[in-house]
């Protein structure tokens, strides 16, 4: 019997519909846009789910056929023409490879393109149409997905990561590959059932290792392991995409058509449990001034302030100065570090040189931090992460970077040419920034930075309800397409 051959494809981007900027093909080219064996070379050893695809297929004795992989950092809606080009490239790669025994796919689940509010459901459906109904298609999914019937209908099975911060991406890909192996041998025949409780879990409550999610995940895991079932996923949702099915969902995998009734019942049970606990998923919010007061009173430092309004992993501009300005106005002398996307400040620092003083305005053009800054160091912006961290990245490139220190003050700013999410502590340590030198570290995220910063956060983490396009209180954003009723909008 000839060896089974399974294709690997992926198209991932988390799309924030509340910002003016758009995602283009250039954003994918700046991150990942790969075909063929270049995918294996770049991803096989990474903590990303695609790395898990390769590992699981090898474990099962199946030949992996890498075809197409595109990924861009979270940002605005993808330009329609560019989305069409990406999908056409994916389908062309599939066609060029000839018939394969199955396909492993890596969508994100919260991708939006102009004209395609369910962009993941769109490209998965087109892929299904091309490969036919009889060919297994199994996908991984980020739990920050807004699951749709189109995604479910196009695939034989979907497995979402079970952790946030996302530390199990590689293991999720491996599980998907092993599920594919059992499907190809005829041992199992995956089917899936979804439930959509009228609930959007606030992003501040989406840490899977703490309450309110920890116990929910424990109960869900027990429900997903009944005889006749192949597993299941709690999907948290992505509140910054204004689409019809924005919100949380549950997906349960059954084995064969006869298991669908049970799978649906288990999905409905967990969805009902989520609804019963809905008030637990609507947190109290901490303002900037109170957060800074707590930092000043803390005996253990640094404290990490999670700048939720400028959550780069949710598509924000990465240039908000709101917490910095609040600290400066208090004049309480806190030693503070923040990373800001500001290519113009980097260029100015490069022109002046290390050791020189520049006078500039850094960060948000509408509210920049103004002052005199010592150019402490200049860097190419490339750094590496050896541990499994949120996002599955191993190599990062934030472009030319300048570390700037306020003249006579306690503020240190890292200015970057490209936006960069705080997924790795190496973003600081690779460029000579020692976290213990500060009272306060500002990390522009919500849950994702916690895995990276935990080793140095002696004073703990504070979630800050800062302003911005990713502000934590979703009821203060204007939605036009979401389902109604939906908690917490309708109580």
CA 321 to chain centre: 23
- Say if 483 falls within a structural domain: no
Residues 320 and 235 in one domain: no
Q: What is the pLDDT of residue 162?
A: 97
Q: What is the pLDDT of residue 449?
A: 94
Choose the final residue of a domain: 258, 281, 304.
Answer: 281
Residues 126 and 19 in one domain: yes
- Say if 234 falls within a structural domain: yes
Alpha helices (H) in 46-118, listed in sequence order? 49-59, 80-97
Residues 304 and 241 in one domain: no
Residues 450 and 307 in one domain: yes
Tell me how many domains the chain contains.
2
Residues 6+ apart with CB under 8 A from 482: 200, 242, 243, 244, 246, 247, 489
Residues 109 and 49 in one domain: yes
Q: For the whole model, what pTM was predicted?
A: 0.95
Tell me whether strands 336-341 and 411-416 are parallel, antiparallel or unpaired.
parallel
| DSSP letter (8 states) at residue 487 | B
- In angstroms, the CA 202 to CA 300 distance is 28
Residues 132 and 115 in one domain: yes
Choose the final residue of a domain: 263, 281, 299.
Answer: 281
- Say if 480 falls within a structural domain: no
pLDDT in 10s for each residue of the chain, 491 residues: 579 999 999 999 999 999 999 999 999 999 999 999 999 999 999 999 999 999 999 999 999 999 999 999 999 999 999 999 999 999 999 999 999 999 999 999 999 999 999 999 999 999 999 999 999 999 999 999 999 999 999 999 999 999 999 989 999 999 999 999 999 999 999 999 999 999 999 999 999 999 999 999 999 999 999 999 999 999 999 999 999 999 999 999 999 999 999 999 999 999 999 999 999 998 999 999 999 999 999 999 999 999 999 999 999 999 999 999 999 999 888 999 999 999 999 999 999 999 999 999 999 999 999 999 999 999 999 999 988 776 777 889 999 999 999 988 899 999 999 999 999 999 999 999 999 999 999 999 999 999 999 999 999 999 999 999 999 999 999 999 999 999 999 98
- Say if 93 falls within a structural domain: yes
Q: What is the pLDDT of residue 387?
A: 82
- Say if 491 falls within a structural domain: no
Residues 257 and 311 in one domain: no
Q: Which residue range is the domain that position 137 belongs to?
A: 5-281
- Say if 18 falls within a structural domain: yes
Residues 237 and 345 in one domain: no
Residues 273 and 327 in one domain: no
Q: What is the pLDDT of residue 332?
A: 85
Residues 228 and 146 in one domain: yes
Residues 59 and 179 in one domain: yes
Task: Calculate the alpha carbon distances from 401 to 65, 69, 135, 313, 380 in Å.
Answer: 37, 28, 47, 19, 6
- In angstroms, the CA 486 to CA 482 distance is 8
470: number of CA atoms within 13 Å, CB side? 30
Choose the final residue of a domain: 246, 281, 316.
Answer: 281
Which residues sit opposite 113 in a β-bridge? 78, 116
Residues 122 and 200 in one domain: yes
- Say if 478 falls within a structural domain: no
Cis ω on the peptide bond leading into residue 165 (within 30° of 0)?
Answer: yes
- Say if 134 falls within a structural domain: yes
């Amino acid at each position: 019997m000839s060896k089974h051959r399974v294709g690997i494809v992926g198209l991932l981007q988390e799309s924030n519909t509340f910002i003016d900027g758009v995602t283009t093909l250039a954003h994918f080219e700046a991150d990942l846009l790969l075909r063929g064996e270049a995918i294996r070379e770049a991803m096989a050893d990474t903590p990303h789910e695609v790395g898990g695809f390769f590992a699981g297929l090898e474990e099962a004795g199946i030949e992996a056929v890498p075809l197409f992989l595109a990924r861009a950092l979270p940002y605005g809606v993808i330009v329609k023409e560019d989305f069409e080009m990406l999908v056409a490239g994916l389908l062309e790669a599939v066609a060029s490879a000839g018939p394969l025994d199955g396909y492993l796919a890596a969508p994100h689940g919260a991708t939006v393109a102009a004209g395609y509010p369910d962009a993941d459901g769109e490209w998965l459906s087109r892929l299904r149409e091309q490969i036919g109904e009889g060919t297994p298609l199994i996908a991984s999914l980020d739990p920050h997905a807004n699951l749709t019937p189109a995604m479910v209908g196009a695939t034989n099975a979907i497995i979402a990561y079970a952790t946030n911060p996302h530390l199990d991406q590689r293991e999720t890909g491996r599980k998907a590959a092993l599920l594919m192996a059992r499907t190809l041998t005829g041992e199992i025949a995956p089917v899936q059932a979804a439930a959509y409780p009228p609930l959007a879990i606030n992003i501040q409550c989406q840490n899977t290792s703490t309450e309110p999610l920890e116990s929910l995940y424990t109960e869900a895991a027990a429900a997903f392991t009944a005889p006749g079932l192949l597993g299941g996923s709690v999907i948290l949702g992505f509140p910054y995409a204004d689409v019809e099915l924005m919100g949380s969902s549950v997906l349960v995998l059954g084995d064969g058509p006869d298991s669908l009734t049970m799978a649906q019942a288990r999905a409905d049970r967990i969805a009902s449990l989520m609804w019963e606990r809905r008030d637990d998923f609507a947190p109290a919010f901490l303002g900037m001034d109170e957060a800074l007061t707590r930092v000043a009173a803390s005996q253990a430092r640094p404290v990490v302030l999670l700048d939720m309004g400028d959550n780069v992993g949710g598509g924000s501009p990465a240039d908000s100065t709101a917490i910095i300005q609040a600290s400066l106005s208090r004049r309480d002398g806190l030693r503070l570090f923040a990373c800001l996307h500001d290519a113009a400040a980097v260029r100015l620092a490069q022109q002046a040189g290390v050791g020189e003083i520049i006078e500039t305005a850094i960060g948000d053009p509408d509210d920049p931090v103004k002052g005199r800054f010592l150019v402490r160091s200049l860097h190419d912006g490339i750094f590496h992460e050896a541990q499994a961290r949120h996002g599955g990245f191993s190599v990062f490139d934030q472009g030319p970077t300048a570390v700037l220190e306020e003249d006579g003050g306690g503020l240190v700013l890292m200015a970057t040419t490209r936006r960069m999410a705080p997924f790795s502590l190496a973003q600081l340590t690779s460029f000579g920034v020692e976290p213990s030198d500060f009272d306060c570290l500002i990390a522009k995220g919500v849950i994702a930075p916690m895995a990276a910063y935990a080793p140095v956060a002696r004073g703990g983490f504070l979630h800050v309800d800062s302003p911005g396009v990713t502000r934590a209180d979703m009821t203060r954003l204007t939605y036009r397409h979401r389902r109604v009723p939906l908690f917490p909008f309708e109580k």
